Amino acid sequence: MEELPLLYRDARLVAVHKPAGLLVHKSPIDKHETRYAMKIIRNQIDQWVYPVHRLDKPTSGVLLFALDPEAASHLGQQFESQLVEKQYHALVRGFTNDCGEIDHALKEIAAFKSDQARLDEKEAKAAFTAYATLQRFELPYTDGRFPSSRYSLLSLAPKSGRKHQIRRHLKHISHPIIGDVKYGKGPHNRLFRETFDTERLMLACTMMSFSHPSSNELLTIEATPQDNFSALLARLQTFKQ
């Protein structure tokens, strides 16, 4: 039986480390996929679980479930009220500023393409992401335009929770995430695929902090980036600036 690494568990909550490439729950837009985190953890702990947030399929990291409807409602309200603190790490194209804020409203993304035109008629919703640069790398490989290629490792704190928010915000400031086939740049994705045998989206949720639904005490759950993420960063240290 497949299992996911447990990061935290008590009578009302369970948090796991979701690997890249795994759906959070069954989805009509990926209807042929039979593996999803909700099913795996339900079988693993032999208990029904209630998803309270989502991670994109290609994103790894902290994934939280409630174990009863009341806890799910309590946590859902915290997410909706933007009271949950989240931290992500991402490897992006180019040298970013030491720190910055991305305040850029985003249109909703429909589950089905046939519904997108209707959503495009609506006003974009406020979205805010803060970031800090942790490391910079310059690789002696061409991206097709320049003789070398520059990249930055970021820590990101999204305040709102719009679909694909971090990925879209980083594209907006011209620093797309490596491995992002939807919002990224093909030459850079290809460079990492061919040079480092890395195809995954280089985005991971590394921390989540919220009020526990029973005690209201602050609970912080952390996860180091998945092995394939960490291994790539270790290889990049040779090129650190």
| Cβ-proximal residues to 28 (8 Å cutoff; 6+ apart), any chain | 111, 112
Q: Are strands 13-18 and 60-66 parallel, antiparallel or unpaired?
A: antiparallel
Could you tell me if 6 and 14 are in contact, meaning their C-beta atoms sit under 8 angstroms apart? yes
Closest to 49 (Cα-Cα) out of 75, 83, 28, 30? 75
Return the amino acid letter for 132: A
Q: Crossing angle, helix 186-196 and helix 227-236, to 10 degrees?
A: 90
Catalytic residue positions? 56
Burial class (CB in 10 A: 0-12, 13-18, 19+), 91: buried
